[in-house]
């Protein structure tokens, strides 16, 4: 069965600095998607970034980028120039292209931004 592991329950970063959130996953499949979701305090969960496994190029969205290492089954999220609004719970997620439609989420990393 597929699993997603986020080894850092909480992290802190100084405003304007860069932080990297770790995620590893386990799968025997070759075609899949990976996601990072953000859940700000008392607000709805939203998608931050998506990566297709068949693409070697790492996805980027403004200050957010990923380091996708397929062989190592690693999918870390880098946030550059951290802002107070980045404070949130971040979830890494996996879904297979070839199976049923559910997404498997990690347990989350709570990110604190220090002013």
Partner 1 sequence: DVKVTQSSRYLVKRTGEKVFLECVQDMDHENMFWYRQDPGLGLRLIYFSYDVKMKEKGDIPEGYSVSREKKERFSLILESASTNQTSMYLCASSLNSHYEQYFGPGTRLTVT
Identify the bridge partners of residue 104 per DSSP, sorted by sequence position: 94
Distances (CA, A) of 28 to 14, 75, 96, 98: 38, 16, 10, 12
- Give the DSSP letter of residue 103: -
Which residue from 24, 27, 50, 78 is in contact with partner 1, where contact means CB under 8 A?
Answer: 50
In whole angstroms, the minimum distance from the beta carbon of 13 to partner 1 comes to 21
Give which of 109, 106, 63, 101 is closest to 83, Cα–Cα: 63
The span from the CA of 35 to the CA of 72, in Å, is 17
Q: Which stretch binds partner 1 (CB under 8 A): 21-29, 57-65, 70-78, 96-104?
A: 96-104
x/- track of binding to partner 1 for residues 56-85 (CB under 8 A): ------------------------------
In whole angstroms, the minimum distance from the beta carbon of 48 to partner 1 comes to 10
Which residue from 2, 11, 24, 33 is in contact with partner 1, where contact means CB under 8 A?
Answer: 33
3-state class (DSSP) for residue 59: coil
Under the rule (CB under 8 A), what is the footprint of partner 1?
9, 33, 35, 43-47, 50, 91, 95-97, 100-103, 105-108
């Amino acid at each position: 069965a597929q699993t997603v592991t986020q080894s850092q329950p909480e992290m802190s970063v100084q405003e304007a600095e860069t932080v990297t959130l770790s995620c590893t996953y386990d799968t025997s499949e070759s075609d899949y998607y990976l996601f990072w979701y953000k859940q700000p305090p008392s607000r709805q969960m939203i998608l931050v970034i998506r990566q297709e496994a068949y693409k070697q190029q790492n996805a980027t969205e403004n200050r957010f980028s990923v380091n996708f290492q397929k062989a190592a089954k690693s999918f870390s999220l880098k946030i550059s120039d951290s802002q107070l609004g980045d404070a949130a719970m971040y979830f890494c997620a996996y879904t297979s292209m070839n199976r049923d439609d559910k997404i498997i989420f990690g347990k989350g990393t709570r990110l604190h931004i220090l002013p």
